[in-house]
Structure 1
Amino acid sequence: MSAAQELPESPSTESPATPADIRRWRQYLADERAEAAVYRDLASRRVGEEREILLALAEAEARHEAHWRDLLGDQAGPPKRGAVRTRFLGFLARRFGSVFVLALAQRAEARSPYDSDVDATKTMAADERIHEEVVRGLAARGRQRLAGSFRAAVFGINDGLVSNLALVLGIGATGVPAATILFTGIAGLLAGALSMGAGEYVSVRSQRELLEASTPQATARTVLSHLDLAANELTLVYRAQGMAAEEAEAHAHEVLRTLTMATGPVSVAAPVPGSDSPHGALDPATDEHEAIGTGWGAATSSFCFFASGAILPVLPYLFGLEGLTAIVVASVLVGLALLATGAIVGLLSGGPPLRRALRQLLIGFAAAGVTYVLGLLFGTSLG
């Protein structure tokens, strides 16, 4: 919404403001000030278009602030502190300014009370709805930037947490000594982490090899100037890359026409005219290779993510606990970690973090609970 847009006049009140009204308006005023400060703090950590958008949001919050100040008049009093969640958001914005803060700001905009408050204008209520969508768009940019690595991190940690907890509980339920459970848990950690690392290495290497097989050879550029202009075999290249027949023919003619006007031969290092076309490039592309990373990098990160989750169920046994005490402590540690990862996923997705956290906890404990029951049955049958 444009910063120059004016708010409609505030609704008139037939009766004088009550003390409850004054308190509510003063809280709204404080919250608007705090929210504007959050957007300014976020803007200070960004450049370009994102900075301009965040500053425009801060200006909109300032217009809302002016509405409540006008209603309060000389009863505005000294500045109040904003709501705790808004001040906490400001603390995070000043120190981090990450996609997590934008996700929290998105949820804050969704909780606006202006829809049901008769003292707020319809424009203000509409503003808050639009602000939510603006912040959602900004947060989406950050989500796209970390989507791949974040997915790998969450998948690796949760896989380590759930699989090793299930292993430890299943073995522990059979009644074997604590030392056996400890070494079984460490073996599960190493086996799972190595398997994850090896799988990621093979996956990334295979993807890179597929890309390399689809990348045009650099040496093909050196023969372009010798092609028959009438036959124009270059047209087939562009058609094979997805261009329509007429478009491919026109593009190929343009490339060859430009080449014939050149004063010197086309060198291997020189770019081919028209190679900036999304279909017609004959230069080897490197962005896709960079986007998927290296095999060793993916393997190392997957190993570490899995191991960081898988170590938690083993910790009680490393510190000498055993029996039911060790099982309870391991379950509590893993439960807290599952709640944390679920809440982070919820925040980043813009959804309710508590619901995501409980879902993560339920899935993890359900899987571990099955192996624990099987271990009890197996232990009983052996006894």
Structure 2
Amino acid sequence: MAHARFRQGEGGRRLIMRFHDLRGLDLSHRDLRGADLTGSDLSDARLEGVILEEAILFGALLERANLSLGRLQRADLRGANLRGAILDGADLRQVDFRSGKLAVADEASQFVMIRRDVSAARLESASITGATLDGARMDQVLMGEADLSECSLRGATMQGVRLKNARLRGADFSNANLAGADLRDADLTRAILVGTAIKGARIEGAIIEGVLTAPTPAAIEAAPTLRQALDSHRQWFATGGASGQVARLEGRDLRPLGTLLANSELTALKARGACLAGMVLAGAMLQGADLDEADLRGADLRGADLRGASLRGANLSQADLREADLRNLGLETGRDLTTKLDGAMLRYADLREAKRSGNWPQADTTGARGL
């Protein structure tokens, strides 16, 4: 394919197919990075796993198209129509869904005309579960009745977005701008709204059960005590238990600790039911730690050592577990301490290059990458 050779620097040419009829076409898993598909009709197209990073899809018709697990980072989807489309697990970071202007040729005179006020993208009734939309530009986008359950929308600009009757269960809106958004009758059960701007948003009838907001003043005030407990824990480990003691942080909100837990010695930590959502735990040594029912949604656990840890019922949806070690832990007695994941949620987690012992039929790995 000429476009593939172009992408590889082996000649060829960039794919430019503006205003073409591509309805129902199967382009699954194709590398179409940087392609120009302005105004083309891709309704009902099969685009599973397609690579459309930095592609131009301005004003394209993508109704009912299947873009699940697609890679569309920084794509231009201004004014696109994605009603009823499937974007489950897609990478939509920094995608532009806003309104814009579209240049089209007048057939009679052949002069270029500017059609102004192309509306923002339409995603009504679209399925976007587990997708990553961090930093996406979505002002005024129409998303009524769309399903964005467990999506990551960190830092997204969504002023005036229309999400009436949308399903937003477990979605992460950390530091997103939802000012003036229409959230009437939306389901925000267990959504994360930390640092989220919601001034002027309409929330009548919205379900907000279990919503996670910023740490309370009491949790922030407790941070020095938590740090002392961790210092004592490190001393306990370093001295083989001769001094210090195991940190018992069950049910505590650990988010005020910031990045303190990254690359830290936390072997045998007791943090059952603790809140660590969105925290940086990269490189942390958590062998044999008790993290049952802990909230680790969106946590950065890259390279963490979780051998023999207990994660029963823990929520690791959208967590970054690349290169993490989740194998069983061999003990000096000759037996193994099993890593426990009974009832754990690993939905849409990133497990690429993670080390593990066997499969995890007892965990929910829907949409997880790297398995």
Give your verdict on TM over 0.5. Answer: no
With structure 1 as the length reference, what TM-score do the two structures score?
0.24
Over alpha carbons, which structure has the higher Rg?
1
Q: Which structure has more RCO (C-alpha within 8 Å, separation ≥ 6)?
A: 1
- Of Structure 1 and Structure 2, the greater strand share is in 2
